[in-house]
Amino acid sequence: MFIQKVYKNGNSIAVTVPKQFARDLGIRDGSEIVVTKEKGKITISPKRKKRVSGVTPKFMEMVDTFAREHEDVLRGLAKR
């Protein structure tokens, strides 16, 4: 559990997400998240990607894991 401070951001308020939480959820700068409020609690979760025809959820999980583990290398390759 982490205690995070809420701060003003324009006309809204914001809170940061610990880096390890973001990494575990597969979210990063620019990711879309789903925010829900129920019974006095706020929940955030990553917006689920649309399923690609012919690709199994297991394969997508493997690709997501690979991308998280090798994020720096993939970003470097994308800049080439």
Is the pLDDT at 63 greater than 80, yes or no?
Answer: yes
Mean pLDDT of 60-75: 88
Identify the residue with better confidence: 60 or 41: 41
Q: Confidence class of residue 74 from pLDDT cuts 50, 70 and 90?
A: very high
* β 7-9/41-46 pair status: unpaired
Task: Give the end-to-end CA distance of the chain in Å, rounded to a whole number.
Answer: 39
pLDDT (tens digit per residue) in 22-53? 888 888 888 888 889 999 998 888 887 666 77
- If DSSP codes are grouped into helix, strand and coil, which group holds residue 43? strand
pTM: 0.49
Q: What domains lie within the chain, and their CATH numbers?
A: 1-48 (2.10.260.10), 49-80 (no CATH)
- If DSSP codes are grouped into helix, strand and coil, which group holds residue 17? coil
